[in-house]
Amino acid sequence: MASEIKSQGVEVPAEIPAWQKTVPTIHHLEHSQSLRVVWALQELHNAKGLKFHIKNYPRVQPKNLDLAKVSPMGKAPILTVETLDGKPLPDLQIRDGVIMESKLILNWISQSYGGELWEQEDDTDKRRNMYFQEFASASLSERVLFAMIFEIIAQVMPFPLRQILGLLLNPLAKVFKGHLPDYFDFMEGELSDERPWFAGTKMGVADFCMEYIMTIAIDRRYLDEETYPKIKKWHDTIRARPAYQEAIKKGGGPKHYDMIKFGK
């Protein structure tokens, strides 16, 4: 047990589990992909007692300068990590104590704190977990985000710009949305009673990676729920998890995780 440590000026409770050698802080931006990192940390808190901090940041234009002070890119999520004596953990990526990029953060969290919790049971699942992490972050994200960006530009504009931009941009959004059934067919085919998670037989990093982009796709109705019941069930299962609900609450509540209008 560590007696007392300091992180972001906040006293950390003394009950840090004996196995925990560092204390992470998630720098979470509202309406953003950092929610999945809060969720992962909360799962570890619920399962293993992991102690972590969360620091919430509002979305501001052109960028949140406080977030930019924490890491060079100023993009969320950012995970900062301190040793038990309050020093930044060295030898991570570019700066001591700072980890950037969602997929790398989630893998670091899994390796540092997960133990066997999210470890795949066989090589098939190990390969699958790696594949779907990349699929979520690259191929699928690209399609969903292009569709969403073309759609949202018009949606957040005042009248009459909304109508004019909608006429120009909605056809482009439709092109990207038109590609999505190929992606969803593939994903639906890979989920089964035996492997209900994108990571395989049990939940893993691939599922955390997939959550953000599929929450956008589902909340914005890009996914036809009747055609893709297994994907829908996967997402409903996540939303029902106590750790997920707690993560949303810690991020400020559902109004701060709005994947339709991003709080606009």
Ligand X SMILES: N[C@@H](CCC(=O)N[C@@H](CS)C(=O)NCC(=O)O)C(=O)O
The b/e string for 79-106 (b: 16+ C-beta within 10 A; e otherwise) is bbbbebeeeebeebeeeebbbbbbbebb
Distance from C-alpha of 71 to C-alpha of 102, rounded to nearest angstrom:
14
Q: Which two tokens stand for residue 22?
A: 């560092």
Tell me which of 27, 30, 54, 77 binds ligand X, using CB under 6 A.
77
The residue among 31 and 51 lying less far from ligand X, judged by its C-beta, is 31
Render 241-256 in DSSP notation, one character per residue: -HHHHHHHHHTT-GGG
Distance from C-alpha of 169 to C-alpha of 150, rounded to nearest angstrom:
5
Segment lying near ligand X (by CB under 6 A), choices 73-81, 91-99, 171-179, 250-258:
73-81
The minimum distance between CB 185 and ligand X, in angstroms, equals 25
By CB under 6 A, tell whether 63 contacts ligand X. yes
Main-chain phi, psi angles of 54, to 5 degrees:
-130, 135
Tell me which of 2, 29, 98, 99 binds ligand X, using CB under 6 A.
29
The minimum distance between CB 216 and ligand X, in angstroms, equals 10
- At residue 39, the 3 state secondary structure works out as helix
The minimum distance between CB 121 and ligand X, in angstroms, equals 27
By CB under 6 A, tell whether 209 contacts ligand X. no
Contacts of 91 (CB under 8 A, 6+ apart): none
The residue among 99 and 203 lying less far from ligand X, judged by its C-beta, is 99
By CB under 6 A, tell whether 28 contacts ligand X. no
Segment lying near ligand X (by CB under 6 A), choices 1-9, 29-37, 112-120, 123-131:
29-37
Distance from C-alpha of 263 to C-alpha of 109, rounded to nearest angstrom:
28
By CB under 6 A, tell whether 76 contacts ligand X. yes
By CB under 6 A, the residues from 79 to 118 that bind ligand X are 101-102
By CB under 6 A, tell whether 75 contacts ligand X. yes
Give the interface with ligand X as residue ranges (CB under 6 A): 29, 32-33, 63, 75-77, 101-102
